[in-house]
């Protein structure tokens, strides 16, 4: 093998010996760096076996292990809290932040339903009107849109204000007395029966009677008068009944949206705010702030990385010739063991994070509450004797 220095059994860490220097000035990292190097070397067989690595190799593996641990922790925090983090300030470091769930982005998502229902949302409803013409039943709203500077394909009609007079208006119309004021032709005989007031005198009828009377007016309107209705297909408006000459010049109002705004209003350009998982402001962890459980994982992952590096080094030569013999190296064993250990450690950490997620903890709390209630139900109730 190449004549280069190998592990001597001891080392002395100083800032600058790791590739990135993420933790070089962390006192606890400085203290543990040489200990981890010794731990890994002895686990690999030193001093019985020579370890073809130098101190910087151990430090590199140690730095990477801490970084991988932090990445796994914070990537899980991002997944668990992303709905509450999206739109927050990217300049705020979240390493030590406690994120409380909020409804901000859930409400933003639900705005689309408000837009479609016409009760809010982020899409503007506009008003327009066409002028009725006697004997003309069909009106092309796409043509209306073009005349008003709107692409016909961008127009979506949401509401047409074309309906008959409500029965309740005939029942309680101004100037009328009870039911006789506006529909005397077929309800005049009941005039003065419904609730009304003149000066200080009034008569109140049961609500059930009023409802039945209004329903009777609705049925009479359907039977005796033309039904006010419309049909809207591909922005072609057909109204019923056919307008009469007396209707000429009347504005028929409607509300519409621009389809392009449905999409454009859902996209917000927000520089400086969290827009994806890549700019959620989690940074490398503080090694000093990692507890013993986390450090134990880091030590084992450092060993797996060191084993992988040693396997690649020993893979340069499959055998070392010596007088009368040849020593076979264990590259394949080292690489296979390192790969399996790294995968097992990452899976163990992910499982632990899954078990401590907000959802898992709430489910556990629910089960604990259920079990406690069942136990309390088995406790005999005391009998009070006064």
CA gap 53, 310 in Å, rounded: 7
In three-state secondary structure terms, 242 is: coil
232 and 364 share one domain? no
Asked if the structure places residue 173 within a domain, the reply is yes
pLDDT score of 181 = 43
255 and 298 share one domain? no
CA gap 78, 275 in Å, rounded: 12
Which residues, including other chains, have CB under 8 Å from residue 267's CB and lie 6 or more apart? none
| Total of domains in the chain | 2
310 and 250 share one domain? no
pLDDT score of 201 = 53
Q: How many CB atoms lie within 10 A of CB 357?
A: 14
List per-residue pLDDT tens for the chain, 386 residues long.
456 678 999 999 999 999 999 999 999 999 999 999 999 999 999 999 889 999 999 999 999 999 999 999 999 999 999 988 988 899 889 999 999 888 888 888 888 888 888 888 889 999 999 999 999 999 999 999 999 999 878 999 999 998 877 777 777 665 443 444 444 444 443 444 444 444 455 567 788 888 888 888 888 877 887 778 899 999 999 999 899 998 899 999 999 999 999 888 888 888 889 989 999 999 999 999 999 999 999 999 999 999 999 999 888 766 555 555 545 567 888 999 999 999 999 999 999 999 988 888 888 889 889 888 888 888 887 877 87
119 and 260 share one domain? yes
CA gap 191, 205 in Å, rounded: 13
Residue range(s) defining the domain that contains residue 338: 1-69+285-369
Handedness of CA 87, 89, 90, 96 (dihedral sign): negative
121 and 244 share one domain? yes
292 and 240 share one domain? no
The CA-based diameter of the chain, rounded to the nearest angstrom, is: 129
140 and 246 share one domain? yes
Q: What does the buried/exposed string (b/e) look like for 320-336 if buried means 16 or more CB atoms within 10 Å of the residue's CB?
A: eeeeeeeeebebeebbe
State how far the alpha carbon of 324 is from the alpha carbons of 50, 235, 254, 300, 318, in Å: 21, 95, 100, 39, 17
135 and 232 share one domain? yes
Handedness of CA 32, 37, 40, 45 (dihedral sign): negative
247 and 298 share one domain? no
CA gap 54, 154 in Å, rounded: 68
């Amino acid at each position: 093998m190449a004549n280069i220095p190998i592990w001597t059994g001891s080392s002395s860490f100083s800032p600058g010996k790791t590739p990135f220097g993420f933790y070089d000035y962390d006192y606890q990292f400085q203290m543990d760096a040489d200990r981890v190097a010794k731990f890994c070397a002895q686990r690999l067989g030193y001093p019985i076996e020579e370890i073809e690595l130098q101190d910087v190799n151990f430090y590199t593996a140690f730095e990477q292990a801490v970084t991988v641990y932090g990445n796994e922790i914070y990537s899980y925090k991002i997944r668990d809290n992303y709905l509450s983090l999206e739109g927050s300030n990217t300049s705020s470091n979240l390493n030590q932040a406690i994120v409380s769930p909020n409804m901000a982005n859930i409400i933003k998502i639900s705005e689309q339903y408000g837009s479609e229902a016409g009760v809010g949302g982020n899409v503007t409803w506009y008003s327009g009107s066409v002028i009725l013409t006697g004997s003309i039943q069909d009106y092309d709203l796409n043509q209306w849109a073009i005349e008003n500077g709107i692409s016909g394909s961008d127009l979506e009609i949401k509401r047409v204000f074309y309906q008959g007079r409500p029965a309740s208006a005939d029942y309680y119309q101004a100037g009328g007395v009870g039911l006789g004021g506006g529909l005397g032709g077929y309800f005049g005989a009941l005039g003065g029966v419904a609730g009304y007031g003149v000066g200080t005198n009034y008569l109140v009828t049961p609500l059930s009677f009023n409802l039945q009377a209004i329903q009777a007016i609705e049925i009479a309107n359907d039977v005796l008068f033309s039904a006010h209705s419309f049909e809207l297909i591909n922005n072609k408006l057909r109204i019923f009944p056919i307008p009469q000459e007396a209707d000429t010049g009347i504005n028929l109002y409607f509300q519409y949206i621009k389809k392009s705004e449905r999409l454009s209003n859902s996209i917000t350009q927000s520089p400086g705010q969290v827009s994806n998982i890549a700019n959620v402001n989690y940074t490398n962890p503080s090694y000093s702030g990692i507890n013993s459980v986390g450090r134990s994982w880091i030590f084992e992952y450092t060993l797996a990385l060191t084993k992988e590096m040693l396997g690649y080094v020993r893979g340069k030569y499959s055998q070392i010739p010596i007088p009368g013999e040849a020593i076979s190296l264990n590259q394949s064993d080292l690489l296979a063991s390192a790969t399996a250990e790294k995968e097992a450690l990452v899976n163990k950490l992910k499982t632990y994070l899954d078990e401590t997620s907000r959802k898992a903890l709430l489910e556990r709390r629910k089960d604990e509450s259920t079990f406690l209630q069942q136990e309390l139900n088995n406790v005999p109730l005391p009998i009070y004797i006064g």
